[in-house]
């Protein structure tokens, strides 16, 4: 006699919890009912991200690197499950390797992107990269896992909190990733994942006055409209690529702070 | 004592010491009556013109062009042609030499430029002489050196110029902002259409003569003067690849909207409402100097001005007393007088804006202090002003005044100072005054601002990146980081 | 003596809610402020005023082992009548000499209004027992000095024995009687502006009528930032307590331009009230002729040669 499997309810990931959409709506994708996030879900996610960001940004770079490495461990332990939800094992392995690659950047960025500046006067002057704050990510539809990881991890490494909208057509990998994140050491609220329609969620994120930057990777033809909305609070707008790996991907979500101090007796 | 020694006039000894006027000579500046737009290495006749004045006397200095869409179009075409016809493919080492030449020419002609800057903009000659001009020349010198070293600035990337950069600059540091814009753009191999501010076009127009002396190829730099309409026409133009704007947050947002979907690169350096935070253990007299320099430098026409003084309550009273006494020694008046500390307000419009906000401050219940000072009858003037008893909610504590007006607020703990300092949509700069090293770093980490001055204020250097967080804009000018906005990276 | 606290007993504090801050000084900002004040452009009448003021506040000084009555007598003549050809030129404030030469100076200056200042307390090092220093002062006063320029014990100050420094100032002040006390800090040996400020306040607390930068025997001496630092302390004392303390810049001031820069510092820090020999002095030996040359240049419009000004 075969056992009837218990099926998963696909939910959002906000502030470390897995709520249903407050709207009560779902959307069928990949044969499953996934939550169809709403304006208010965006509101809650941004709020959670804003609350979590200072702690994450203030964590030591070494600590952030370790936390992200731990996330790679969590994904590695679920390779078969992830492989089912994306283009296969190769994509999962690339995603894991990418997380590990970025994890190693956490404590090297300030040396590569910042430094001391030789000003003409009795001052010590240095520049350090700092997180911009709350970053919205519109993940690409494909590849479902690697695309999200590619866009999600760079802002995280730099100390930002992220609200990401998953692939609209293939959101299940994102939900699986949320579960891996929940079991890793990433603090609650640092990553928030929404599923639903980009056309609904994108404009809310783009115009949100408490979002500092937006990655329009998955925006497609809506880019111009979203960019216009982003100007309301002078958001940093990034047109990320679905498959890229470089420290400059991180720097798009960083501010540079320059500090002066006199040098005297 | 001998008789001869005894013989001596016993005239009454004067008791007060008034400095005699010490005006810098205007003779060095020879203005033309009328200027066109500088396009393709020559002057084109403007369709429409307006008078540019001296804000300290209201006298007309020259007539300049009000750039039309057509003028902009010609300038962009000239820039495109210059980009294609050699500038972008010129070896970096050759581009560098042009920039070095420009730096040297500015040094050689610095007195002339300083006088003109003070005439057209109203800033004290000691500032245009000691700050604007040396920094402008230094900026060209700094970026000249980068022109042939770009690949070392961006390891593992292949930098290439963008094309034509549209640059719109403000009226507070006309020549210095020109330098901040042109130097990195040219070093990176771009060509430029520059629009100076409506009220202060003259040093940019004089600068075209420096370009002639430097033998810069025609069309590499084009200057179109005019008001906001000219700027809008430039931003809208299809032939540009990048916009760099320094000015108000309001205009910055509209430019960002305008460029949405075009793929043009954008950098914005916008407004600010910086907190200058003074702890009770600071070096007090130097903090007072820093506060004065933070808000009265250039009549407070500074986007990173320390316009909100956050004083620790335990030092508030003596600090404000010292500050008021110090204000009484500020010399307000003729911008060309070498002893002038505070010059003229840049324009009638700006004077009206300052006056309106100061009235609002009084109505909201803040206590106003202005030192006794005789302001000239002609021209636009505003006495250095301090508001005490200011609440965070008052307009004078929230809005950028862009004038010599300081709002004093208090705090009790470092946490509260950070909270109040960051409680604004802006994030350009901040100041911290304390003798405690660890607290400086603690504060510096938490202040959401692109520049943090600790135990100093309003320091600038070509090697030091400058730019804002939040609604103060994005992108950096100065330093290695100032190159990136003018480059694309080939895959 | 045991290590004293930063605020020694007897440090006169006002009985106010707020204590006088010892405070600290940021070197870079202080130097920048001094440099910016030095750029004031003082022209025409304002320059003549400053040059004449510089003469009126000058302590014409000779402090050499080779000083003789003849040398001092000549200097006294110069102090009374700096330019024999121009009776409108005012006299100097004082002659500053070693104690042995006080009687000569006293005699030559009698009735002129020019004061006699004597250095004392084991000038310039101050490395002598306190009782000898006090005796040195008493003897100078007995010889007829109107003013005593004492040195603080820098050895004590730099080893943190502030109370010893303070006690000596108190004892010397007492020994001065009617004579005015100027306390020399020898700022060139103090190392930091924080120390300059601290020593200034300490000297004032001990009873100094004037604080003075330097002996003239150590470099650097009366630099502009040091002067500004001390002037700010003097201003703070005045604001907190109402006491008006004088200031004397001495050492290294050789040119009229430097003197004018020093006067600008006083003017913009303490105001016109301090522009009087009662509250301000310039200690100098070779400065006077340069001022005379500048004054004659202002009056004639012609650049001058030192050949036309007497060396005294």
As for the ipTM of the complex, it is 0.96
Instruction: List the Cα angle A244/A249/A251 in 5-degree steps.
Output: 170
| pLDDT tens digits, one per residue of A210-221 | 999 999 999 998
Comparing C-alpha atoms, which of A47, A67, A97, A55 is closest to residue A186? A67
Q: Are B288 and B254 in contact (CB under 8 A)?
A: no
What pLDDT score was predicted for residue C85?
Answer: 87
Is residue B1 scored above 80 in pLDDT?
Answer: no
List the single residue in A118, A224, A232 with the smallest CB-CB distance to B261. A224
Q: Which of C26, C43, C106, C198 to mutate to test the interface with B (most CBs of B within 10 A)?
A: C26
Alpha-carbon distance A136 to C263, whole Å? Answer: 61
Displacement of CA B253 from its chain's centroid (Å): 20
pLDDT digits (tens, 9 = 90+) for B91-123: 999 999 999 999 999 999 999 999 999 999 999
C11 has pLDDT over 70: no
- Chain A hits for C29, Cβ within 8 Å: 262
Averaged pLDDT of chain A: 97
Query: Above 50 in pLDDT, residue C285?
Result: yes
Model confidence at C22, pLDDT cuts 50, 70, 90, reads confident
Q: Is the pLDDT of residue B361 over 90?
A: yes
Distance of CA C291 to the CA centre of its chain: 18
Task: Compute the distance between CA of residue B170 and CA of residue B349 in angstroms, rounded to an integer.
Answer: 14
What average pLDDT score do residues C249-267 get? 97
The answer to whether the Cβ–Cβ distance between B286 and C33 falls below 8 Å is yes
Q: Kindly indicate the confidence band of residue B13, based on its pLDDT and cuts at 50, 70 and 90.
A: low
Q: Indicate whether C56 pLDDT > 50.
A: yes
Q: How far is C299 from chain B (nearest CA, A)?
A: 16
Tally of CB atoms within 10 A around B82 = 24
Q: CA of A128, closest CA in chain C: separation in Å?
A: 24
User: Both tokens of residue B422?
Assistant: 């960051």
> Predicted confidence band at B464 (pLDDT cuts at 50, 70, 90)?
very high
The pLDDT score that the predictor gives to residue B5 is 58
Q: How confident is the model at residue B72 (pLDDT cuts 50, 70, 90)?
A: very high
Mean per-residue pLDDT of chain B: 96
Residues A239 and A248: their CA atoms lie apart, in Å, by: 13
pLDDT of the residue at B7: 54
**Bridge partners of residue A257, in order along the sequence:** A128
Query: What is the rounded average pLDDT of the residues B469-478?
Result: 98
- Average pLDDT taken over every residue of chain C: 93
Mean pLDDT of C151-161: 97
Residue C6 has pLDDT above 70, yes or no: no
CB contact, 8 Å: A258 with chain B? yes
C28 and A CB contact within 8 Å: yes
Say yes or no for a CB contact (<8 Å) between C27 and A123.
no
Alpha helix segments (H runs only) across chain A: 39-58, 61-76, 79-85, 89-103, 109-113, 144-157, 172-183, 198-207, 223-230, 247-251
- Per residue in A5-24, pLDDT tens? 999 999 999 999 999 999 99
Touching check for B3 and chain C: CB below 8 Å?
Answer: no
pLDDT tens digit sequence for B209-249 = 999 999 999 999 999 999 999 999 999 999 999 999 999 99
Q: How far apart are CA B363 and CA B352, in angstroms?
A: 16
* Residue B206: exposure state from Cβ atoms within 10 A (0-12, 13-18, ≥19): buried
CB contact under 8 A, C88 and B456: no
C 112-131: CB under 8 A from B: 112
From the number of C-beta atoms within 10 Å of its C-beta (0-12, 13-18, 19+), residue B65 rates as: buried
Q: What is the pLDDT of residues B383-424, one digit of tens each?
A: 999 999 999 999 999 999 999 999 999 999 999 999 999 999
Quote the pTM value. Answer: 0.94
d(CA B330, CA B350): 21
Q: Which region, left, alpha or beta, applies to residue C160 given φ > 0 means left and ψ of -120 to 50 means alpha? A: left
pLDDT above 70: residue B10: no
pLDDT tens track for A52-69? 999 999 999 999 999 999
Cα torsion angle, A13, A16, A21, A26, sign: positive
* Percent of chain C's residues with pLDDT above 90: 89
B35-40 average pLDDT score: 98
The pLDDT of residue B15 is above 90: no
CA-CA distance, A236 to A248, in Å (whole number)? 14
Catalytic site residues of B? 269, 303
- Whether residue A259 and residue B461 make contact (CB cut-off 8 A), yes or no, is no
Q: What confidence tens digit (pLDDT) does each residue in C209-223 have?
A: 999 999 999 999 999
Reference B217, options B73, B44, B88; nearest CA is B88
What residues contact A48, with CB distance under 8 A and at least 6 apart? A14, A15, A16, A161, A188, A189, A192
Mean pLDDT of A230-234: 98
Optimal mutation site among A55, A212, A256, A264, interface B, most CBs of chain B within 10 A: A256
* Shortest alpha-carbon distance between residue A124 and chain C (Å): 12
B154-191 per-position pLDDT tens digit: 988 999 999 999 999 999 999 999 999 999 999 999 99
Determine contact: A244 vs chain B, CB below 8 A.
no
pLDDT at position C3? 38
pLDDT at C17 over 50: no
**DSSP 3-state of C303:** coil
Q: Output the six-digit token pair for B218.
A: 């025609």
**Phi, psi angle pair for A35, to nearest 5°:** -60, 140
Nearest residue of A to residue B440, measured between CA atoms: A261
Write out the two tokens for A119.
Answer: 């000003």
C32, C87, C232 member nearest B7 (Cβ): C87
- Give the pLDDT band of residue C146 (cuts 50, 70, 90): very high
Handedness of CA B416, B419, B423, B426 (dihedral sign): positive
β B265-269/B473-474 pair status: antiparallel
Residues of chain B contacting residue A131, judged by C-beta atoms under 8 Å apart = none
């Amino acid at each position: 006699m075969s056992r009837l499997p218990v099926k998963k309810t696909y939910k959002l990931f906000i502030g470390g919890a897995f709520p249903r959409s407050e709207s009560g709506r779902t959307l069928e994708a990949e044969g499953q009912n996934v939550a169809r996030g709403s304006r208010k879900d965006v509101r809650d996610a941004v709020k959670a991200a804003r609350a979590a960001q200072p702690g994450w940004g203030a964590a030591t770079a070494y600590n952030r690197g370790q936390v992200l490495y731990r996330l790679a461990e969590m994904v590695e332990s679920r390779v078969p499950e992830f492989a089912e939800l994306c283009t296969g094992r190769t994509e999962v392995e690339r995603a894991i390797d990418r997380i590990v690659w970025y994890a190693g950047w956490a404590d090297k960025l300030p040396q590569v992107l910042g430094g001391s500046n030789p000003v003409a006067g009795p001052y010590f002057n240095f520049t350090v990269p700092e997180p911009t704050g709350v970053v919205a990510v519109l993940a690409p539809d494909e590849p479902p896992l690697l695309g999200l990881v590619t866009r999600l991890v760079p802002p995280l490494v730099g100390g930002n909190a992220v609200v990401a909208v998953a692939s609209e057509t293939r959101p299940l990998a994102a939900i699986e990733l949320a579960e891996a994140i929940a079991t890793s050491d990433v603090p609650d609220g640092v990553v928030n994942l929404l599923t639903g329609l980009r056309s609904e969620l994108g404009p809310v994120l783009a115009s949100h006055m408490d979002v500092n930057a937006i990655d329009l990777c998955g925006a497609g033809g809506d880019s111009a409209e979203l960019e216009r909305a982003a100007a309301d609070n002078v958001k940093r707008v990034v047109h990320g690529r679905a498959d890229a790996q470089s420290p400059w991907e991180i720097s798009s979500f960083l501010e540079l702070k320059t500090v002066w101090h006199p040098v005297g007796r | 004592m001998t008789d001869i020694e005894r013989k001596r006039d016993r005239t009454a000894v004067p008791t007060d010491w008034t400095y005699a006027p010490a005006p810098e000579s205007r003779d060095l500046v020879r203005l033309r009556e009328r200027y066109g737009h500088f396009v393709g290495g020559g002057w084109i006749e403007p369709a429409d013109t307006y008078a540019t004045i001296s804000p300290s006397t209201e006298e007309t200095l020259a007539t300049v062009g009000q750039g039309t869409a057509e003028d902009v179009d010609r300038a962009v075409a000239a820039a495109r042609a210059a980009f294609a016809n050699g500038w972008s493919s010129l070896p970096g080492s050759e581009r560098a030499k042009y920039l070095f030449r420009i730096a040297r020419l500015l040094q050689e002609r610095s007195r002339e430029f300083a006088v003109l800057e003070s005439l057209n903009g109203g800033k004290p000659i000691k500032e245009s002489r000691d700050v604007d001009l040396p920094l402008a020349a230094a900026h060209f010198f700094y970026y000249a050196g980068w022109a042939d070293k770009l690949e070392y600035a961006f390891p593992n990337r292949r930098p290439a110029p963008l094309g034509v950069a549209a640059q719109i600059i403000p009226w507070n540091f006309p020549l210095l902002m020109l330098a901040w814009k042109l130097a990195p753009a040219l070093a990176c191999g771009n060509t430029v259409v520059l629009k100076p501010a409506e009220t202060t076009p003259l040093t940019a127009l004089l600068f075209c003569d420096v370009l002639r002396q430097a033998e810069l190829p025609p069309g590499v730099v084009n200057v179109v003067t005019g008001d906001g309409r000219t700027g809008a026409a430039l931003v809208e133009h299809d032939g540009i690849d990048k916009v760099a704007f320094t000015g108000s947050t309001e205009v910055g947002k509209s430019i960002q909207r305008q460029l949405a979907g075009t793929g043009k690169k954008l950098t914005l350096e916008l407004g600010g409402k910086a907190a200058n935070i003074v702890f009770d253990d600071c070096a007090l007299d130097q903090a007072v100097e820093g506060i004065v320099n933070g808000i009265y430098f250039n009549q407070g026409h500074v986007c990173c001005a320390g316009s909100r003084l956050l004083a620790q309550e335990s030092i508030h009273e003596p600090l404000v007393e010292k500050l008021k006494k110090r204000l009484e020694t500020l010399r307000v008046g003729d911008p060309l007088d070498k002893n002038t500390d505070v010059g003229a307000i840049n324009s009638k419009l700006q004077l009206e804006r300052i006056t309106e906000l100061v009235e609002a401050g009084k109505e909201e219940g803040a206590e106003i202090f202005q030192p006794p000072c005789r302001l000239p009858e002609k021209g636009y003037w505003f006495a250095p002003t301090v508001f005490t008893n200011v609440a965070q909610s008052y307009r004078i504590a929230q809005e950028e005044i862009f004038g010599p007006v300081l709002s004093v607020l208090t705090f009790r703990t470092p946490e509260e100072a950070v909270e109040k300092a960051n409680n604004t949509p802006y994030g350009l700069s901040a100041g911290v005054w304390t003798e405690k090293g660890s607290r400086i770093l603690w504060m510096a980490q938490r202040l959401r601002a692109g520049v943090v001055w600790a135990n100093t204020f309003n320091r600038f250097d070509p090697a030091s990146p400058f730019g804002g967080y939040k609604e103060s804009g994005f992108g950096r000018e100065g330093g290695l980081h100032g190159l990136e906005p003018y480059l694309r990276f080939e895959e | 003596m045991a290590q004293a606290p930063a605020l020694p007993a007897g440090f006169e504090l006002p009985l106010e809610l707020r204590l006088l801050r010892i405070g600290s000084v940021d070197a870079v900002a202080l130097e920048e402020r001094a440099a910016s004040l030095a750029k004031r452009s003082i022209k025409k009448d304002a320059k003549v005023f400053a040059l004449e003021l510089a003469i009126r506040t000058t302590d014409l000084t000779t402090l050499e082992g080779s000083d003789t009555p003849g040398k001092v007598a000549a200097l006294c003549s110069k102090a009374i009548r700096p330019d024999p050809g121009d009776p409108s030129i005012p006299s100097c404030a004082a002659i500053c000499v070693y104690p042995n030469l006080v009687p000569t100076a006293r005699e030559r200056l009698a009735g002129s209004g020019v004061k006699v200042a004597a250095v004392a307390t084991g000038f310039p090092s101050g490395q002598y027992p306190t009782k000898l220093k006090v005796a040195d002062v008493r003897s100078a006063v007995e010889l007829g000095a109107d003013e005593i320029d004492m040195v603080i014990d820098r050895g004590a100050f730099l080893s943190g024995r502030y109370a010893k420094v303070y006690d000596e100032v108190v004892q010397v002040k007492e020994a001065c009687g009617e004579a005015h006390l100027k306390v020399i800090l020898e700022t060139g040996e103090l190392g930091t502006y924080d120390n300059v400020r601290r020593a200034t306040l300490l000297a004032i607390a001990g009873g100094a009528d004037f604080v003075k930068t330097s002996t003239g025997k150590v470099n650097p001496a009366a630099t502009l930032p040091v002067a500004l630092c001390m002037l700010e302390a003097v201003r703070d004392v005045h604001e907190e307590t109402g006491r008006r303390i004088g200031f004397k810049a001495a050492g290294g001031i050789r040119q009229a331009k430097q003197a004018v820069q020093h006067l600008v510092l006083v003017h913009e820090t303490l105001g016109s009230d301090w522009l009087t020999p009662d509250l301000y002095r310039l200690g100098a030996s070779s400065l006077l002729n340069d001022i005379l040359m500048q004054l004659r240049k202002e009056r004639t419009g012609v650049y001058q040669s030192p050949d036309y000004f007497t060396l005294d």
